[in-house]
Amino acid sequence: MLLLEVTQSLLRGLAQNGIIFGVTLVLALPLGMIVTFGAMSKFYPLRWLCKILIWVIRGTPLMLQLYIVLYVPGLAFGVPFRSRMTAALVAFVINYAMYFAEIYRGALENIPKGQYEAGKVLGLSKWQVFFHIILFQVIKRITAPIGNEVITLVKDTSLARVIAVQEMLMQAARYTAYGLIWPLFYSLVFYLAATALLTLLFGYLERRIAYAAGE
């Protein structure tokens, strides 16, 4: 009975981890691309604003960012978050968007400039060059690093417990008050299963992309 109770408790927590994971990916991946275009813009105020934002977010711990997002709006502006989950989502999306932005930027800057020039010679617009020539090469370059970040995100969702989001690790840790430590090790099964599935998924994607590229 105790195993069933612990399993149900961990699954409830896992649902919270899943929400953080899913929402972060859905929002941070496109937001990161927007930030990348801003950081590569010829409009210098926007360019430096995006670069400073990337530097600050990547240079500070996610745990600290969770505290800042949760408490600063209420203390400084009188507009507190009504939901700790919402605060966690905001912090995670901003954090991961900045990491994705750097991955995108690195991939874009490694595309030979001759690719852009060839597209212009063919009479393609800037956006046509990007979508028809550059995009696939970018996807090829970012698959592995994005995969690493996604696997890291699985584990980082446990940090939401610092602002009292009832995620899986927090559920497991509650049992230590009763002298039970095995639920913590039991939670490892769920993390390992998730990271194993993602490792297989991204390995498959890398093989498919390499095949499509004729490698």
> What CATH number should be reported for the domain whose range is 2-113+144-212?
1.10.3720.10
DSSP 155: H
Residue pair 187/6 in contact (Cβ under 8 Å)? The answer is no
Residue scoring higher pLDDT (215 or 108): 108
The torsion region of residue 147 among left (phi > 0), alpha (psi -120 to 50) and beta comes to alpha
Q: Provide mean pLDDT across the span 176-196.
A: 94
Question: What's the pTM value of the predicted model, to 2 decimals?
Answer: 0.92
CA distances from 71 to 77, 173, 194 (A): 10, 24, 31
Q: Where are the domains of the chain?
A: 2-113+144-212
Higher pLDDT, 115 or 79: 79
Task: For residue 62, give the 3-state DSSP assignment.
Answer: helix
pLDDT of 27 strictly over 90: yes
Q: pLDDT band at residue 178, thresholds of 50, 70 and 90? A: confident
pLDDT at res. 130 = 78
Whole-number pLDDT of residue 114: 75
Percent of the chain with pLDDT over 90: 73
Asked whether residue 214 carries a pLDDT value surpassing 70, the answer given is no
Do 71 and 84 meet the contact criterion of CB atoms below 8 Å apart?
A: no
pLDDT digit string (tens) for 152-163?
A: 999 999 999 999
pLDDT at residue 213 above 80? no
